[in-house]
């Protein structure tokens, strides 16, 4: 009986040792795409809504996003009070907002969303700021983020 159990244990170890350890190559979930291949409505929506947010810093007026333009979470988090607080810091540090220039488009294949990376131009240009606008598969803004520009997407 002991010999049978011992043989069974050795057989189990031998089977596990012989199994292939190779991993299946996974598709990358994000990929940089050519801006010319992206739907023009997505591109223009990302530009217009991104610029609308940053123009608040110059005008102190913000037209809230509608349900057809943005997701509920973006509508809830993008308020005049929050934008005013952020804009106050930006105006002191960077000066007046000028414009945004599309630098890169990234396609997330998991949820079919597009991340538009813009370089934001300000009066003082000692630091390049980035504005990221994410458009989901329903053609709505699902995220807006401002950060310092880095050439590598993180």
Digit-coded pLDDT (tens) for 70-126: 999 999 999 989 999 999 999 999 999 999 999 999 999 999 999 999 999 999 988
How confident is the model at residue 152, as a pLDDT?
A: 82
Nearest-CA neighbor of 35 among 94, 114, 148? 114
Residue 44 located in a structural domain: yes
Residue 17 located in a structural domain: no
CA–CA distance, 107 with 113 (Å, rounded to integer): 6
How much of the chain is in helix, strand and coil states, percent to nearest 5? Answer: 40, 25, 35
How confident is the model at residue 1, as a pLDDT?
A: 58
Digit-coded pLDDT (tens) for 33-63: 999 999 999 999 999 999 999 999 998 889 9
What is the number of domains present in the chain?
A: 1
pLDDT of 8 above 80: no
Residue 78 near residue 66 (C-beta atoms within 8 A): no
Residue 122 near residue 130 (C-beta atoms within 8 A): no
* CATH code for position 56: 3.10.450
Owning domain of residue 45:
30-148
Residue 154 located in a structural domain: no
Residue 38 located in a structural domain: yes
Token pair 């997701």 is found at 71
pTM exceeds 0.85: no
């Amino acid at each position: 009986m002991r010999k049978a159990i011992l043989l069974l244990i050795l057989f189990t170890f031998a089977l596990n040792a012989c199994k292939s350890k190779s991993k299946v190559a996974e598709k990358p979930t994000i990929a940089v795409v050519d801006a010319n291949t992206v739907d023009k409505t997505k591109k223009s929506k990302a530009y217009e809504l991104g610029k609308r947010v940053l123009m608040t810093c110059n005008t102190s007026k913000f037209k809230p996003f509608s349900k057809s333009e943005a997701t509920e979470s973006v509508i809830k988090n993008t308020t005049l009070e929050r934008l005013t607080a952020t804009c106050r810091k930006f105006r002191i540090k960077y000066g007046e907002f000028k414009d945004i220039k599309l630098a890169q488009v990234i396609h997330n294949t998991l949820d079919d969303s597009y991340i538009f990376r813009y370089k934001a131009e300000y009066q003082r240009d000692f630091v390049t700021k980035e504005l990221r606008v994410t458009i989901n598969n329903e053609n709505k803004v699902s995220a807006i983020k401002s950060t310092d520009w880095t050439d590598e997407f993180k």
